[in-house]
Amino acid sequence: MNRVTLDALESFPQQLQEFFSAVPTGFENWKPDSWEGIPSEPFSAIEQICHVRDIEIDGYHARFRRGLCETDPVLDNVDGETLAVERDYASADAAGVFAAFRAARAKTLETISSLTEAQFERTAVFDGAPISVRGLVHMLCSHDQQHLAGLQWLLARIDASRRR
């Protein structure tokens, strides 16, 4: 696995926390009138971090396990909007979310850091297309970047709303 992707995965929890910390106090649950143009799922700042935590655990931990242990499994998508309601993301404690996410990301990094080339080449089907375990690592990294962009997008909209 290339070092730049592993480094991005490793540094992401800190970046996510720093971006979330930039959200002004009282705006953790703020939502714009329109979500047009958001580069991630349409979630408030607190919902963004809860979603990232749950996708790591319920999505990628399961996908890596199945991709490594099963022959060409069809991997499930996670319905983030349903989880947001069922798990009451809006009431989440950010410190607890970050603690759980950091532990989950450490487990992810431990898993992928020990894989052999043959394990990275194992295949599955995700979103209707074939994908290797290596490809899943890249998809996870892409998902991380989408949520950093989503928080920046929210910060821009929050700033605009405070200027009205």
Using one digit for the tens of pLDDT, what is the confidence trace for 25-82?
999 999 999 999 999 999 999 999 999 999 999 999 999 999 999 999 999 999 999 9
Is there a domain that residue 87 lies in?
yes
17: tokens are: 């926390």
In a domain, residue 156? The reply is: yes
C-beta of residue 94 within 8 angstroms of C-beta of residue 25: no
Q: What whole-number distance in Å separates Cα of residue 67 and Cα of residue 36?
A: 34
Q: Are 81 and 89 in contact (CB under 8 A)?
A: no
Give the domain range for residue 97.
Answer: 3-23+43-163
Structure confidence at residue 146 (pLDDT): 98
Alpha-carbon Rg for the chain in angstroms: 17
**Residue 92: per-residue pLDDT:** 98
Model confidence at 163, pLDDT cuts 50, 70, 90, reads confident
Predicted local confidence at residue 68, as pLDDT: 98
Residue 35 lies in a domain: no
Question: How big is the chain, counted in residues?
Answer: 164
pLDDT at residue 164 above 80?
A: no
DSSP state letter for 57:
I
CA distance 143 to 137: 10
- C-alpha to C-alpha distance for 154 and 146, rounded to whole angstroms: 12
pLDDT of residue 23: 98
| 56 in any annotated domain | yes
Give residue-wise pLDDT tens across range 112-147. 999 999 999 999 999 999 999 999 999 999 999 999
Residue 148: inside a domain? yes
Of the candidates 121, 140, 104, 139, the one whose C-alpha atom is nearest the C-alpha of residue 68 is: 121
pLDDT digits (tens, 9 = 90+) for 92-105: 999 999 999 999 99
Could you tell me which residues come within 8 angstroms of residue 117 by beta carbon, excluding any fewer than 6 positions away? none
pTM: 0.96
We report the CATH number of the domain holding residue 151 as 1.20.120.450
